[in-house]
Structure 1
């Protein structure tokens, strides 16, 4: 569910409000100056919010702890769906529905009004804003819950855990910061707690919403060049979850022949009745030899950033021998490619969010170094409108 940008007319009105507040601030003196400054700050913030893409803002908001906690409370109460179709949710109805104390609802909702996720309306009550609209998508809410429950506690424990380890980066021997905080690795823990793993599985779909859609690589154009025939394997999506990305590629490229295979742990597939139409499931551990030979494309999306260079090398080595034997096969790695300088706040947030599980976001130099260690090189970096890029690799 993509939330729209503010319209040009809305932005014009907000600019006008900023100008009015700015003139009032200039004209004020004495005790009224601070009130005028605050009014200008509020209007300028509203203008800034209007220029943001709502789906993109879900990520950095997760890591603003008070807002993240308030969002999790509303998710737990099951209230997001009640804002559908622009409905107003009255304070008295929230209290009646949830049995919560009025003072707690006011304090929780106040956080999200200040963040422009909700707005106050007479009643008193609340209405969802364009920045709040992504939470009407259960996948966004699930991803927020996953990060709040699994990732944030590890980040909050980082100062203590790093100080006891002389600020050394996590390694395969030491385990990840998630293991430092929880006693076992995230993937092991989620494997034995499927009810919590479901938030991650569903949340991965939130990275395929609005401006986050995977359009860096032109699948239709590039796959058409490969002359894929019926019965051949067109794409193997390694660690592809429940297949939402490949289902979208299949839907938008109906003319592409061949099999679309999604590989992941068996527990990932157990949560759904059947794969999406046109998709085949295959249980697979990516640290073991790749069983599918002769595929035209091997695709990893949002996988490498979960792992250290050592771990990435381990599962690349399961594939490199096949690529050497199959010079026509492509290897596509979809993740961030950070700039060397002037890294945005969102990119920084996403990088640090990988740290608790032992991963990182890489710049182009780090990608080249990792690939060269594994006898690979960058053939091309494809970029689209989403934050991620697609690194196309070839054998050295």
Structure 2
């Protein structure tokens, strides 16, 4: 058995940059987590789940609201240096004792590093909170006004149904929580400005930090521009997936409007202005659209229709309706639908996929699907799977679909 001191020395030298590929990093992370579970006592696990996680999230949100992380970044520039609660209090105007208590809490989880008495250094996580506003947004309305509420009421809702697997988006945990049979989650998100922004932030971060870019999975270099839209991103939020396409491919080969971003009007508020900063040639056209209605005439016969984490929001019957509504827009033998989604493997599915599965259940009576379930769903809509593009250790795959 490795002596504890030797083990600690070995582990202390490992960082996220110690691996030659993202797949290797994820494999190591999962192995370390499995080891942690073996080392922890049952009480350790219960303590983490019931006290640590909610307490730390509360501390993080408070520090964000006080401007601690952004002020800390300014203090560190251009050379990284430690800081004290007293200095942060002077920078932010917040209470020094409150800052000290919050920093102690998150440093106990190694989110910042205590490098001396009352002195702290930033970690990559703390730096990202300062440099990426969307990352900080995940700790706001998305968590406190939606996810945590859904998980809190899920056990009671399931008990009220005699523990039946939920499949009706119009009669699920969301309506149970709202105590309103007519409540709709997407309407709730879209009409709450704080939550709308933070929901979009969370989706952007999920795409940026958690997922393999779709242009690294599907051979987008084979796509040839034409007089029709090249890619129509259905339910695309802030357009982060189309931005990945633009970053990969020269915009000189694309005409204005070659890429179309579609989502509900409430979700698209402010998006054209934000896109203009990265898309000066207006390659991306922003088009309000409800995917329960037929594609506009301008988007009929596109080469690629792209759905990223759209269908997992809906139970099978509704997902089938979405696919059947889209199908007439596809040109047989030319158009493709790319479904960028998680696949639940038959054995030892990734925890990120199974956690997402419970999230879908809690919010929308929906689910993540196995490969067989995806094939059945696609077939039932009059379409067929051409190929499943599945990178090693990726959370999501791309299911390539065409007209049957």
Q: Same fold (TM over 0.5)?
A: yes
What is the Cα deviation at residue 22 of structure 1?
Answer: 4.7
* Gapped regions of structure 1 (runs ≥ 5): 1-17, 24-39
CA pair 65-373 structure 1, distance change in 2 beyond 3 A: farther
CA pair 130-236 structure 1, distance change in 2 beyond 3 A: same
Q: Deviations over 1:315-349 (max 9, x none)?
A: 111112233x4331000011111211112322222
CA pair 174-204 structure 1, distance change in 2 beyond 3 A: closer
Normalising by structure 1, report the TM-score. Answer: 0.79
Matches within 5 A, 1:349-368: 349-358=355-364, 359-368=366-375
Matches within 5 A, 1:110-149: 110-136=104-130, 137-145=132-140, 146-149=142-145
The answer to whether the Cα contact below 8 Å between 2:204 and 2:238 also exists between their aligned partners in 1 is no
CA pair 149-100 structure 1, distance change in 2 beyond 3 A: farther
The answer to whether the Cα contact below 8 Å between 1:240 and 1:300 also exists between their aligned partners in 2 is yes
User: Would you say 1:310 and 2:317 are equivalent positions?
Assistant: yes
What is the Cα deviation at residue 100 of structure 1?
Answer: 3.2
The answer to whether the Cα contact below 8 Å between 1:151 and 1:178 also exists between their aligned partners in 2 is no
User: Would you say 1:326 and 2:366 are equivalent positions?
Assistant: no
Secondary structure of the residue that 1:381 maps to in structure 2? Answer: strand
What is the Cα deviation at residue 189 of structure 1?
Answer: 0.9
User: Would you say 1:257 and 2:254 are equivalent positions?
Assistant: yes
CA pair 174-195 structure 1, distance change in 2 beyond 3 A: closer
CA pair 144-381 structure 1, distance change in 2 beyond 3 A: farther
User: Would you say 1:293 and 2:293 are equivalent positions?
Assistant: no
Matches within 5 A, 1:40-189: 46=12, 64-84=53-73, 86-96=80-90, 97-100=92-95, 102=97, 104-136=98-130, 137-145=132-140, 146-172=142-168, 174-182=170-178, 183=180, 184-189=183-188
What is the Cα deviation at residue 219 of structure 1?
Answer: 4.5
What is residue 203 of structure 2 aligned with on the other side?
A: 204
Secondary structure of the residue that 1:89 maps to in structure 2? Answer: coil
| Number of residues of Structure 1 aligned to a counterpart in Structure 2 | 353
Q: Deviations over 1:57-96 (max 9, x none)?
A: 9xx9999333333322222222222343534331123344
What is the Cα deviation at residue 353 of structure 1?
Answer: 2.2
Q: Deviations over 1:183-206 (max 9, x none)?
A: 422211122212220111122221
The answer to whether the Cα contact below 8 Å between 2:339 and 2:400 also exists between their aligned partners in 1 is yes
User: Would you say 1:390 and 2:387 are equivalent positions?
Assistant: no
Normalising by structure 2, report the TM-score. Answer: 0.77
Match of 1:248 among 222, 244, 259: 244
What is residue 11 of structure 1 aligned with on the other side?
A: none
The answer to whether the Cα contact below 8 Å between 2:151 and 2:362 also exists between their aligned partners in 1 is yes
The answer to whether the Cα contact below 8 Å between 1:265 and 1:284 also exists between their aligned partners in 2 is yes
**Comparing 295-304 with 210-219, which one deviates more in the overlay?**
210-219
Equivalent-residue separation in structure 2 for 1:127 and 1:155 (angstroms): 33
CA pair 192-209 structure 1, distance change in 2 beyond 3 A: closer
Equivalent-residue separation in structure 2 for 1:222 and 1:149 (angstroms): 42
**Comparing 115-124 with 284-293, which one deviates more in the overlay?**
115-124
CA pair 360-78 structure 1, distance change in 2 beyond 3 A: farther
Secondary structure of the residue that 2:266 maps to in structure 1? Answer: helix
What is the Cα deviation at residue 132 of structure 1?
Answer: 3.9
What is the Cα deviation at residue 262 of structure 1?
Answer: 0.6
Equivalent-residue separation in structure 1 for 2:371 and 2:198 (angstroms): 31
Equivalent-residue separation in structure 1 for 2:169 and 2:389 (angstroms): 34
The answer to whether the Cα contact below 8 Å between 1:185 and 1:357 also exists between their aligned partners in 2 is no
Equivalent-residue separation in structure 1 for 2:385 and 2:57 (angstroms): 37
What is residue 21 of structure 1 aligned with on the other side?
A: 4
What is the Cα deviation at residue 20 of structure 1?
Answer: 5.5
